[in-house]
Amino acid sequence: MSVKMDHIGIAVQSLQQAMPKYRALLQKEPDHVEEVPGQGVKVAMFRAGDSSIELLEPLGPDSPIARHIAKRGEGIHHICLAVENMDAVLKEAEQAGLEIIPQKDDRGAGGHRIAFLHPKSTGGVLIELVEK
């Protein structure tokens, strides 16, 4: 089974304010911008080598990203690993004692299937898994 780094998610209050900084840093426009209502976010993806930087703006005050920003401020929210077989990876993760965060919608940016592993079971890091 192949697993690779897909992206790093960064919580921001406003894409309009954050994107110019990342445009300057990465010397390019975002590769993709979309709203993901099921996750309560608007995202801007900047490809950087073999992975991406994903800026996450909350769509409303009750979104997970809005709660994250209210509690911890803007900054790194999660790392994302691309997996080939989500069901097999989740089964192995559970067997290893990792806690899967239940969610209503398992579709993320681009319509890809996603899952999250709770930071309390991963050494303090929220890990997203994506199956493309």
Which pTM value belongs to this model? 0.94
Predicted pLDDT at 104: 86
Domain 3-131 has CATH 3.10.180.10: yes
Question: Nearest-CA neighbor of 30 among 59, 5, 55, 4?
Answer: 55
Predicted pLDDT at 2: 83
How far apart, in whole angstroms, are the C-alpha atoms of residue 8 and residue 26? 14
Domain boundaries, the chain: 3-131
- Please list the alpha-helical segments (H only) found in the chain: 15-26, 64-72, 86-95
Predicted pLDDT at 101: 96
Predicted pLDDT at 1: 67
Q: What is the pLDDT along the chain (132 residues), one digit of tens a residue?
A: 689 999 999 999 999 999 999 999 999 999 999 999 999 999 999 999 999 999 999 999 999 999 999 999 999 999 999 999 999 999 999 999 999 999 888 999 999 999 999 999 999 999 999 999
Predicted pLDDT at 30: 98
